[in-house]
């Protein structure tokens, strides 16, 4: 196996011991896709929004196992708290998870 179809970084793993290769593929990794990139751009825009009384926000909803948490973890990894650049104020990104509730179980809201 010569790995010509692999990136140079991945090709280097072919010569590593099997334990190291397995550990590498078991690590979390980010695989970009078009819809995620759109959401990431929206989050970037929100992060750069000028401070105001009613800050805009974004709710991300989708079926289970569609990558919402992974998307947010990736965004947060890109915006780790640190020292602000000269002349810039510190901004911190955060994530809030809402628990789902069962539909049609005594819910009085018309959309349930």
Asked if 76 contacts 93 with a C-beta cutoff of 8 angstroms, the reply is yes
Show pLDDT as tens, one digit a residue, over the chain (112 residues): 578 898 888 888 998 999 999 999 898 888 889 999 999 999 999 988 998 899 898 888 888 888 898 999 999 888 887 666 665 555 555 666 665 655 555 555 555 4
Q: What confidence score (pLDDT) does residue 112 get?
A: 45
> Is 15 a member of any domain?
yes
Q: What confidence score (pLDDT) does residue 34 get?
A: 94
> Is 26 a member of any domain?
yes
> Is 8 a member of any domain?
yes
Q: Which domain holds residue 19?
A: 1-30
DSSP for residue 64: T
What predicted TM-score, i.e. pTM, was given to this entire model? 0.62
Q: What confidence score (pLDDT) does residue 18 get?
A: 94
- Cα–Cα distance between 45 and 39 in angstroms, integer? 10
What's the token pair of residue 50? Answer: 């000028």
Q: What confidence score (pLDDT) does residue 39 get?
A: 94
């Amino acid at each position: 196996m010569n790995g010509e179809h692999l990136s140079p970084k991945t090709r280097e793993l072919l010569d590593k011991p099997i334990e190291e290769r397995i550990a590498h593929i078991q690590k979390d990794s980010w695989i970009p896709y078009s819809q995620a990139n759109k959401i990431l751009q929206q989050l970037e825009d929100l992060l750069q929004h000028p401070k105001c009384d009613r800050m805009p926000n974004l709710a991300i909803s989708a079926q289970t196992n569609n990558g919402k948490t992974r998307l947010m973890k990736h965004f947060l990894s890109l915006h780790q708290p640190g020292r602000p650049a000269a002349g810039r104020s510190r901004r911190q990104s955060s994530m809030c998870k809402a628990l789902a509730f069962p539909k049609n179980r005594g819910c009085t809201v018309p959309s349930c």
